[in-house]
Amino acid sequence: MTKTWWKEAIVYQIYPRSFKDSNGDGIGDLRGIIEKADYLAELGVNVVWMSPHFKSPNVDNGYDVSDYCDVMDEFGTMADFDELLAVLHQRGIKLIIDLVVNHSSDQHKWFQEAKKSKDNPYRDYYIWQKPKENGDPPNDWESYFSGSVWELDEASGEYYLHLFCKEQPDLNWENPQLREEVYNLMRFWLDKGVDGFRMDVIPLISKDWTFPNYPEGRFADLTLYANGARVHEFLQEMNEKVLRQYDCMTVGECFGVFAHQALDYIGEDRNELQTIYHFDHVGGREEHNFEHGWTEIPMLKLKGIFERWDFTIGDKGWNTIYFGNHDNQRVVSRFGNDTTFRVESAKMLATLLLTQRGTPYIYQGDEIGMTNCDFKDISEYNDVQVLNAYKVLVEGKGVSAQQFLDNANQIARDHARNPIPWTNEANGGFTSGTPWLKVNPKYPEINVADAVADQDSVFHYYHELIALRKANEALTYGAYCDLLPNHAAIWAYSRTLEDKQFIIVVNFYGNEEALHLPEIEGKTLLVSNYATHKDGSLQPYEARIYGM
| Given 285, 347, 357, 463, the residue binding ligand ISL (CB under 6 A) | 285
Half-sphere exposure of 217 (CA within 13 A, CB side): 0
Q: Does 286 sit near ligand ISL (CB under 6 A)? A: yes
> What distances in angstroms separate CA 116 from CA 119, 121, 156, 410, one per listed residue?
9, 10, 9, 43
Residues ≥6 apart with Cβ < 8 Å to 267:
316, 317
* Residue 164 interacts with, from Ca ion, ligand ISL, none (CB under 5-8 Å by kind): ligand ISL
66: enclosing H helix or E strand: none
Q: Does 173 sit near ligand ISL (CB under 6 A)? A: no
Q: Which stretch binds ligand ISL (CB under 6 A): 106-114, 150-158, 281-289, 301-309?
A: 281-289
- Of 29, 253, 366, 383, the catalytic one is 253
Residues 89-128 close enough to bind ligand ISL by CB under 6 A: 100
Q: Does 35 sit near Ca ion (CB under 5 A)? A: no
Determine the residue type at 410: Q
* Residue 166 interacts with, from ligand ISL, Ca ion, none (CB under 5-8 Å by kind): none
Phi/psi region, residue 482 (left: phi>0; alpha: psi -120 to 50; beta: rest), is: beta
Assess contact for 538 and 530: CB atoms under 8 A. no
Count of positions (residues) in the chain? 548
Assess contact for 449 and 368: CB atoms under 8 A. no
Binding mask 59-88 for ligand ISL (x = CB under 6 A): -x--x-------------------------
Determine the residue type at 309: W
| Given 25, 124, 174, 280, the residue binding Ca ion (CB under 5 A) | 25
| CB of 329 vs ligand ISL, minimal distance in Å | 11
How many helices (H) and strands (E) the chain has is answered by: 17, 20
* Residue 25 interacts with, from Ca ion, ligand ISL, none (CB under 5-8 Å by kind): Ca ion
Q: Does 29 sit near Ca ion (CB under 5 A)? A: yes
Assess contact for 108 and 160: CB atoms under 8 A. no
Q: Based on the residue annotation, tell me whether 133 is a catalytic residue of this protein.
A: no
Q: Does 27 sit near Ca ion (CB under 5 A)? A: yes
* Residue 144 interacts with, from ligand ISL, Ca ion, none (CB under 5-8 Å by kind): ligand ISL
Give the whole-angstrom CA distance, residue 497 versus residue 116. Answer: 60
Give the whole-angstrom CA distance, residue 406 versus residue 291. Answer: 10
User: Would you say 171 or 399 has its CB closer to ligand ISL?
Assistant: 171
Q: Based on the residue annotation, tell me whether 253 is a catalytic residue of this protein.
A: yes
User: Would you say 125 or 508 has its CB closer to ligand ISL?
Assistant: 125
Q: Which stretch binds ligand ISL (CB under 6 A): 35-43, 115-123, 184-192, 278-286?
A: 278-286
- Of 29, 64, 200, 287, the catalytic one is 200
Give the whole-angstrom CA distance, residue 478 versus residue 497. Answer: 4
Q: Does 200 sit near ligand ISL (CB under 6 A)? A: yes
Residues ≥6 apart with Cβ < 8 Å to 77:
71
User: Would you say 201 or 527 has its CB closer to ligand ISL?
Assistant: 201
Other Cβ atoms within 10 Å of 44 Cβ, number: 17
Q: Does 144 sit near ligand ISL (CB under 6 A)? A: yes
- Binding residues (CB under 6 A) for ligand ISL: these are 60, 63, 100, 144, 164, 200-201, 253, 255, 284-286, 326-327, 413
Positions annotated as catalytic residues are 200, 253
